[in-house]
A and B are shown apart, each in its own frame.
Chain A
Amino acid sequence: MRIVLLGEQATGKSSLLVALYGALVNHRAGDLRLVRTVDEVEFLSRGLQAFGRRESVQRTDVDSDARLVVDVARGDEIVSVEVPDRSGELLKHMLDSRVWEPDLHRQIGDAAGAMLFLRADLVVPGSDAFAEPLAAAGDEPADAPVEAVAWTPTLMPADARTVDLLQAVLDAHADRLPLAIILSAWDRVSPPAGAPAAWLAQQLPLLGQFLATHAERLPHAVFGVSAQGGDFALGLADGLVQEDPWDRAFAVRPDEARGTLSEPVLWLLDNAA
């Protein structure tokens, strides 16, 4: 099963792969068991070592061909899972330039499922400029300098960029494409949120409405994920410091239950065509 990762830079793609690999190797992946690793796992091992030192994993460079390729067992069934780890800059550049990135276009065409990554802690309620109340007429200071900024796609808010991406995905993938939506850094959402889907509908309403409208072509489920288990810069909570990376990491399922990082993969396996 080929899974394509959709996420701009620093949205948690590599962190999830590293933490998932750690969970598989250390039998913390719920119903999923690791049968064998098919490709080399050097970048995953390095990432796990970084997590062990309570450091974030390195960003994935544009030239990278890193990927997670494993055979996993679920009950009696053995499934090959292949997840290329793509640099988020490639997607950012694609959205900014509005030109398909050739490798991503091919991967989407071949994919049986996708994971869409958004940073939950970077979605700021009320950050939409259009939501700012307008000043009453005549209140503007006469000498206030107003410098016009030319609009570019980089100025799109997160949910508009994501809808733009998903519209392109619908064009590139003819059949239904199950979509696991990963809200990364879920441990940093303040105040702590309940159901990830409800959070998404509230914070990213355009994306929520788009997903609801296209549920047949893009069947989806929303997961809150903390691959690190906490914020290394701020310091981990007391109870987490001594825990291994695979015990710190967690995913919140659509039903609000806390599970392992295998939850999005399990959902994709269940919903793949």
Chain B
Amino acid sequence: MAVDQLLFGYHDGHELIAGSRPLSAVQQRELLPHLDASFEAADERQLVGAAIASLDGYVLARIWPAPERPRPGAVWAHALLLNAEQLRFRRLGGLLALLRRPVDEHLDGYADQLPWPRDVELAPSPPPLAEALTRAALAGDRRPRVVLWHAASDAEPALVALLDAFPGPARNAFSFRTRERARLGATPYRVQVASVLSGQGAGASDVVIDARQPPGASSLLAS
């Protein structure tokens, strides 16, 4: 069993640089918003998980700033494409370890499928964060939630563990993104984890779960 991978980066625009499978124009168009980002600091990164209808699969990707590229704001995105069978039936805990940023612009190995990783025990997340993510993922009204936490990248293992914990047929509906700054409004992600919330009405929304608050206080903000 092997998993497909894609590398997006800045060449003549942000585009597919290498991959283990071809993509149609429609598939690229659907993937692109999930595999691009803006960063405020060079040490940030984002993790994205979302179903891709045109691929009948699911993308799990990590995005990093690429300050070594000539265009300010350039990024690298390394994506794993899980097919429907892999998403439904496989253990997903080992996938995070496959995501790697190009170093010194060496792009070897990104054009080949990767062996499916053995399952690993993911590092535990801080309990308030793990609890907030679970509440966000299982919210009955199915409205997208924003979880506020000090460092959004802390949520990476918990998000993949949550995806893994869903029954196979339900995994497709769980989408997430970690990011430095989240805005309220239309989003394709069921759960966003951010350290900053921006936009009008950001402080008072009932779709925000502030996991940074002491126990009890967060229930005033979240539903």
Contact = CB atoms under 8 A, between A and B. Distances in A.
Interface residues of B, number: 27
A93 B23 CA distance: 13
A108 B25 CA distance: 22
Interface in A57-98: 57-65, 87-90, 92-93, 96-98
B185 interface: yes
Given A88-B13, A89-B15, A99 B74 contact: no
Contacts, number: 73
A221 to B, nearest CB: 28
Contacts of A99: 25-26, 29
A75 B64 CA distance: 47
B14 interface: yes
SS class, residues of chain A in contact with chain B? loop
A56 B72 contact: yes
Interface stretch (B32-40, B93-101, B108-116, B203-211): B32-40
A9 B14 contact: yes
Given A9-B14, A89-B36, A61 B73 contact: yes
Contacts of B71: 10, 59
B75 interface: yes
Q: How large is the interface on A (under 10, 10 to 19, 20 to 34, 35 or more residues)?
A: 20 to 34
Given A40-B199, A93-B28, A65 B13 contact: no
A165 B18 CA distance: 28
Contact of B25 (A57, A88, A97): A97
B183 interface: yes
23 contacts: A8-B13, A10-B13, A10-B71, A40-B198, A40-B199, A40-B200, A42-B198, A50-B72, A55-B72, A57-B72, A59-B14, A59-B71, A59-B74, A61-B75, A62-B14, A63-B38, A87-B14, A87-B36, A93-B28, A93-B29, A96-B25, A97-B26, A97-B29
Interface of B: 10, 12-15, 25-26, 28-29, 32-38, 40, 71-75, 183, 185, 198-200
